[in-house]
Amino acid sequence: MNPPETWEMIAIGAVVLVVLFLIRPGLKQAFKQSREATNKDWAGLILPIGLVILFVILLISLA
């Protein structure tokens, strides 16, 4: 596979900048909300992740 051409690198860079510009307000809001999170909020995130991990372990052990 050949390395990307100069114009391709410039196009990729432009796309990355546009995407960052478009998601910046959402990221700013997400960081603000993460500072205000409580322990109950984190439990709501950790519980589903823990259940998925246990399910994957169960599937691996059954295989």
pLDDT band, very low/low/confident/very high, at 9 (cuts 50, 70, 90): very high
| CA proximity to 46, closest of 57, 35, 58, 54 | 54
For tokens 């059954």, name the residue.
Answer: 62
Domain range list for the chain = 6-62
7: which residues sit within 8 A by CB, 6+ positions away?
Answer: none
Mean per-residue pLDDT of the chain: 87
pLDDT band, very low/low/confident/very high, at 14 (cuts 50, 70, 90): very high
